[in-house]
Structure formats: C-alpha cells, structure tokens
Amino acid sequence: MSASPDFNTLDEWIAWLEQAHPIHQIELGLSRIEKVARSLGLLEFNAPVITVAGTNGKGTVVATLESLAIEHNLSVASYTSPHLLKFNERVKLSGQPVSDDLLVSAFRYIAQHQNGVPLTYFEFTTLVAFWIFKQQELDVVVLEVGLGGRMDAVNIIDPNVAVITSIGLDHVDWLGDTLEMVAHEKAGIMRSGKPAIIADPETQSLLLPEVSARQAKGVIAQLDYQYEDLGSEWTFASVVEGQKLFIDGLVNNDLLVSNLASALQAFLLVFPTKVNPERIRAAYKHLQFIGRFQYLSKAPIVIVDVAHNPDSAKILNQKLKQLKVRGVEHITAICGMLKDKDVAGSLAHCATVDQWSCIDLPGPRGAKGEELMIKLPEKSRKDAKSYHLLVDALDEYWQHQRQNDALVVFGSFVTVAMMLETWPGFSQRNARTTKQVK
C-alpha cells in the first residue's frame, strides 16, 4: 500500500483532494464513510446534534442556530457546504471558520487513517470536520446535509433533533423527480423517538407519513409552535417545559421567517432551560448570513443571493417585491447559473426584475450568458444582455445607474463568490458613486 500523502499547507491538501476525489464526483451511500468513521471513533459526539436538511433554507437555519448558541454563551460547531470564498467556511467553531493549521492537521489525520477505503470529496471533508469537532469541548453540533439526507455522509451521525426546511425538485438525478421521492430522501435524517421539525407548513402532507414510518416525534410549524411575519419583525410562540413562551420584536434579517422560527424551536428542544428572550432577540439582531440576500451596499442598493433553483428564486422574487414596496423603482439582475440546474424554471420566477444581465460561468458546468438569455421569459429578453465577465456587466450597470435603482447579483454559489471577490475593489474604484457603502 502506498504511503499516505503529506502536505504543509491547506492549499496543497485541497489541491490533492480535488485531484484524488473530484468535487463533482457524487456517490451516495454510507458504507464507506461509516467504516472509516467507526475505526476512528467519529460516529458520535459528546454534545447534542441538530441535523438540517431541505431543498432551500438549510444555511439560514444553521447560521441562526450558531447565533442563538453564541448569544447564550454556548460552544457551537457547524459543518456546511459549499463554501463561497474559502474552504475554511465549511467548518466553524463559535461561528468562525477554523484555521488553516487545524484543517491541515485534520486532513493529515484522515489521510493517514483512511486505510485504503475510497472516499468521495464530500465524505473526506465530512470526516475532516468530525475529527476537528471531536477535539473540542462543545455544547452543540449543527450539521447541514449536503445532498438529500438519507444517504448523505452526515447521516452517519444520529441527531437529537432533525429539521427539514422545505421540499422542492432539485438534484433530480439523485433524489428523484417527484416531491414524494425527494421527501423520502430528506426524511432519512429523522430518528425513532427523536423530534423532527417540519419547518414549512406546505410540506406537512409530504412529510407526516415519513414521520410516522420512522416513528419520529413530529414537530409541526404553526401547530406545535407558531410564528407570525409582521414585515421587518416577527413573533414566536411555543411551549417549553410545560410553560407557554411568546417572544415578539424578532428581526427577520430579510430571511424566510419559517426557517428562522424552526431554528429557534430546535434550539429550545435541545436547551429548554436556557430560554432567555432578550438573548434570543439579540441573536436575530446580530445574525449575519453571507450570500443570502446579503447587502453589499445600501446606498446604492447592491444585494447578492445564492438562489439557484425555482423554489429559492421564488423566495428571492418575493424579497425583490418588498424592495419596490419600500421605494425602489427599478431592479437590475446580474445572473450566472450552472447548466445542470432548472435555469428556465428559476428565471421564470423572477418577474420583479426589470433589466437582465446574464454572465458566463467558468468550467464545464457553467452556463454561458447567451444560454441564460434564451431561457428568459420572452417579455424579459427584449433589453437583456449577455457578458463574458462579471466586471463588464457591473461596469455597464454603473454607467447607466439611476436613482432608486437596486442591483441583485444571483444564481450559482460561483456567481456570488465572484461578486464577493470583485466588489471591494470595484466599489473603491467607483468611490464617488458608492461612498455610502455600508
């Protein structure tokens, strides 16, 4: 057997991982990762686990749970994917990406103890995260499902609480082409006798049979706990330790309230004796979520969002409608997407956009801007333009920017990552226009 690789920098380890275990190589199943995890003692943690699955909104729930834990002085670890700018974003302790040094140690350990078992990119990185978590003294671990749920690598861990945010058609080659099939896959994170939160009231009919089949304890939004969206704020009600709990004045951060509420319910189920309304309000006030309706600037308005399928595009469109209610008169979208997504279905939901700029994305999966234009609804194609480069689309927008305009850059995680890398230098170059950037 050949010696395990050994590198001194995170970049070298990631380059090796991408070559040895291609990032887009998907092979669902738990037998490989479970075998390695068992040999390394990584099948359970000394802290309660909350696992989050769903078509959209998983990241919102994870970020909210992090914020709630931090405000209550609890030690929290989280594992998410994909990352936007740096691999370190996938593995966080107390809301902060872990250091290169810690990741290098984890990569080296997993590579040395893989014992010839073939692992996919996601399986390997999942074990990296789990090894890091085992080195910490934690109060709670939050795991985001990468794909589906039932056969996803994180599902080797038995969660204390499962959260399912939404059910929609995405990754149909792997999860099935009906909502019932998708629901079955995502419900695989449920465990017998353990709470399973159904965050979206519209998915009850799909998920309640799965709750029953798995003998989980269903916790249903607007039945077992309640929330009301009041616009810029929302309210929450539940029963904790036999006592009714009502909290108002919660900030919604331009995120979907159903997901914000499911995170709070999950937190209360794990930490029922730590309820502190003021700290809960502070958690939502301080909640920051990169890439999800994230304001890069408020004067002028510049927003990025990783909406990349029809369901998330529909939610994005609702938020854009709210901008117009608040006084925005014209919305321009710069969009870049991957070929293997439902591009036409996603773009059709964004009817609030007035002007389209479609950009090329790199790599074999990246769609060309011209391909996106063809899939725009007919009424949106008239003034749409395509660009090879994001910066060219930004330059064009800035030259014709009008008062009460808003710009949204959305689509793939790749699109948002490019914007986050481009924006600081671009905004400085256009400082006279963007001097009020926040």
The one-letter code for the residue type at 157 is I
pLDDT at residue 84, as a whole number: 87
User: How confident is the model over 384-404, as a mean pLDDT?
Assistant: 92
User: How confident is the model over 287-302, as a mean pLDDT?
Assistant: 89
User: How confident is the model over 251-260, as a mean pLDDT?
Assistant: 88
Q: Which two tokens stand for residue 49?
A: 């686990």
Q: Average pLDDT of the chain?
A: 90
Buried b (16+ CB within 10 A) or exposed e, 382-394: eebebbeebbebb
**Angle, alpha carbons 326-65-10 (nearest 5°):** 105
User: How confident is the model over 28-39, as a mean pLDDT?
Assistant: 89
Higher pLDDT, 127 or 315: 127
Q: What percent of the chain has pLDDT over 90?
A: 70
Per-residue pLDDT band for 177 (boundaries 50, 70, 90) equals: low
Asked if residue 1 has pLDDT above 50, the reply is no
pLDDT at residue 252, as a whole number: 84
Torsion sign over Cα 308, 311, 316, 317: positive
pLDDT at residue 434, as a whole number: 46
pLDDT at residue 232, as a whole number: 84
pLDDT at residue 171, as a whole number: 53
- Annotate 177-241 with DSSP letters as a single string: SSHHHHHHHHGGG--TTSEEEE--GGGHHHHHHHHHHTT-EEEEBTTTBEEEE-SSEEEEEEEET
Per-residue pLDDT band for 220 (boundaries 50, 70, 90) equals: very high
CATH numbers and ranges of domains, the chain: 10-285 (3.40.1190.10), 294-429 (3.90.190.20)
User: How confident is the model over 83-107, as a mean pLDDT?
Assistant: 95
Which residues, 6 or more positions from 256, have their beta carbon under 8 angstroms from its beta carbon? 57, 60, 315
Distances (CA, A) of 90 to 276, 381, 396, 400: 29, 37, 34, 38
Which residues is 244 bridged to in the sheet?
Answer: 239
CA 353 to chain centre: 23
Per-residue pLDDT band for 75 (boundaries 50, 70, 90) equals: very high
pLDDT at residue 435, as a whole number: 40
Q: Which two tokens stand for residue 358?
A: 């479609």
Higher pLDDT, 427 or 307: 307
Distances (CA, A) of 315 to 94, 179, 197, 310, 350: 29, 18, 21, 9, 9
- E strands, 11-121, in order: 49-53, 76-79, 91-93, 96-97
pLDDT at residue 438, as a whole number: 33
pTM of the model: 0.86
Rounded to whole angstroms, the Cα distance separating 221 from 203 reads 10
pLDDT at residue 436, as a whole number: 38
pLDDT at residue 173, as a whole number: 53
Distances (CA, A) of 225 to 200, 202, 206: 12, 15, 19
Distances (CA, A) of 369 to 86, 376, 416: 26, 11, 15
Asked if residue 174 has pLDDT above 80, the reply is no
